[in-house]
Structure 1
């Protein structure tokens, strides 16, 4: 596999924390309090819109598109979550419709670190420095939100939340070195498993897109990338998960983000500025198939995100320099 830089976009004046992609769009979030929308369908990757930076008083830490919709959720260090949307318009060559604020969600007592929509779009999860994970039920328009559960079993700052792309299973990653998996049991949300093994803050995790098995990749301050697998349903709602693999050592410092593509590739990046791509071989062993050092020069890289546009696989990365790099691959 050969990795190539298609374009570098200087979008923000401060650290870029989060990227999400949907329907040929990319959204970015930054410490400059701005959210940017980018058109990925054209080769110039034009910036389409800057969302109102007066909505949040502090850094925007996370963005996530609602599935099957143009609605966007953004979590901020000001302890709130903003919801943005517009009328459906798939033709970005036509008249572009501005994105408008739909709602502000309050509840967390400290910085919101991550937001994530469930695969159905019915639920929004958020997590915070207040050590909690909240699950919200959203109406169809994205204007009304009801808190269904406040999950407080992590003992430290919760860094990241992500839903499985096919089922209602939520993973949360924490400063307490663990990953917790949550599922609904009898109209309540409960912890189904605790994954122990990392020896430092777990910054991020991501699920494999698969109906035949449940697997999760995670990354940590301990510079490792690990794959976990659901082994069996346990008693009393607790499931059995096991560490399946530790991926080949690439990173020399904290790994901040991992992304598992629908094609089966895993990408990782972190404070050492390295961008790595892994693939599982026929024997079930993970191999490094691409590696880019100094992916954003001397800057730490905070996020990687796979997306497909027009049948082409792209990988987006964002860093402390406020830029998004768009990478392509020759397989």
Structure 2
């Protein structure tokens, strides 16, 4: 595999330093040119980016600049962050068991797409988890927020005006620490991954509460990360067992494993599924993974033959780019594609070295 030729290369765009401890997670603002990162140092750092012309004819490069640091006030590590779909609100999940909701004074930023200079303020503090919060995510519609914790629970919150949040359900389906949650890109379906080696899928029952409608088993160890495909038909999961699994919705409320991806030599801590810039027939976008081996892999996934009559589809995968030692000898904790149009080939990583890096996938 080491000598396998790849159709693209992963190039470093920028290296963003400043955290005093390990960097856990990164989040791209979906509407504005802002990248946020969080750390064991209890802060959130934000960077603005823009294109700058180069000396080459018609050439340009992306420039990132640190804009602000939020001293969150969390008593412990900030483990995860999530932007609302509007890009106006940022949620922080901390090992102190609390969730912070952050926003700026909109009057001070009128007409400014970059976020301006207005300070980020904590508008709400959500309490309820008994111990470390591990992951947090807004639904695609922005009306729901989900959180998960070492206390084995998943909470679903309804988002109300004026930064008011109402708990709509406490899901206690996992038998161990819940590591990650992810929302379906178009439907109100929530997925969670756990130390108990399983993935749970949840729906809201109009007549009752949120409930688990499926348990996905197959991983042989902790499931660390989840990512739905951009079209919502598939779900990727990464694990301590060194694999990435692809699950397909083969019929309503039924998901089955259709592909197992290998290539990592240590725990796969993070997986992200973006639209990418693939143009082949049946392309499902680009899937990126990273973890304890410091390796970044980028696959292009395609549907080779669609499912017939509720059966499984046949997927084909191609490793289009591979980069070892992305953060030197440090573990890489998070990898996230930029969701903004025009930046589909750009992603960011966060490592145990406290550094955040921005990368671009470029054809060879």
Shorter-normalised TM range: over 0.9
Q: Name which of 44, 54, 69 aligns with 2:63.
A: 44
Residue 152 of structure 1 is matched in structure 2 by 172
The answer as to whether partners of 1:32 and 1:59 remain within 8 angstroms in 2 is yes
Select between 36-45 and 180-189 the one with higher mean Cα deviation.
36-45
Residue 111 of structure 1 is matched in structure 2 by 132
Alpha-carbon distance change, 106 to 94 in structure 1, aligned in 2, over 3 angstroms: closer
Is structure 2 residue 37 aligned with structure 1 residue 28?
A: yes
Q: Name which of 74, 97, 100 aligns with 1:79.
A: 97
Q: Which consecutive segments of 4 or more residues in structure 1 shift more than 6 A?
A: none
- Using the TM superposition, give the Cα deviation of residue 91 of structure 1 relative to its aligned residue in structure 2, in angstroms: 3.0
Select between 252-261 and 32-41 the one with higher mean Cα deviation.
32-41
Q: Unmatched 5+ residue regions in structure 1? A: 234-238
* Structure 2: distance between partners of 1:101 and 1:178: 34
Structure whose CA Rg is larger: 2
- Using the TM superposition, give the Cα deviation of residue 135 of structure 1 relative to its aligned residue in structure 2, in angstroms: 0.4
Question: How many residues are aligned here?
Answer: 321
Q: Name which of 303, 317, 322 aligns with 2:349.
A: 317
Q: Name which of 9, 31, 41 aligns with 1:2.
A: 9
The answer as to whether partners of 2:287 and 2:301 remain within 8 angstroms in 1 is no
Q: Name which of 291, 302, 322 aligns with 1:270.
A: 291
Residue 233 of structure 2 is matched in structure 1 by 214
Residue 253 of structure 1 is matched in structure 2 by 266
The answer as to whether partners of 2:237 and 2:271 remain within 8 angstroms in 1 is yes
- Using the TM superposition, give the Cα deviation of residue 57 of structure 1 relative to its aligned residue in structure 2, in angstroms: 0.4
Q: Unmatched 5+ residue regions in structure 2? A: 1-7, 52-61, 277-284, 305-314
SS of the residue 1:57 aligns to: coil
Residue 326 of structure 1 is matched in structure 2 by 358
SS of the residue 1:13 aligns to: coil
* Structure 2: distance between partners of 1:114 and 1:83: 14
- Using the TM superposition, give the Cα deviation of residue 84 of structure 1 relative to its aligned residue in structure 2, in angstroms: 0.1
Residue 282 of structure 2 is matched in structure 1 by none
Is structure 2 residue 311 aligned with structure 1 residue 302?
A: no
* Cα RMSD, aligned residues only: 1.6
Is structure 2 residue 26 aligned with structure 1 residue 19?
A: yes
* Structure 1: distance between partners of 2:321 and 2:124: 41
Alpha-carbon distance change, 190 to 282 in structure 1, aligned in 2, over 3 angstroms: closer
Residue 247 of structure 2 is matched in structure 1 by 228
Residue 241 of structure 1 is matched in structure 2 by 255
* Structure 2: distance between partners of 1:164 and 1:19: 19
The answer as to whether partners of 1:166 and 1:209 remain within 8 angstroms in 2 is no
- Using the TM superposition, give the Cα deviation of residue 167 of structure 1 relative to its aligned residue in structure 2, in angstroms: 1.1
Q: Deviations over 1:295-328 (max 9, x none)?
A: 0000000000000556133110110011111111
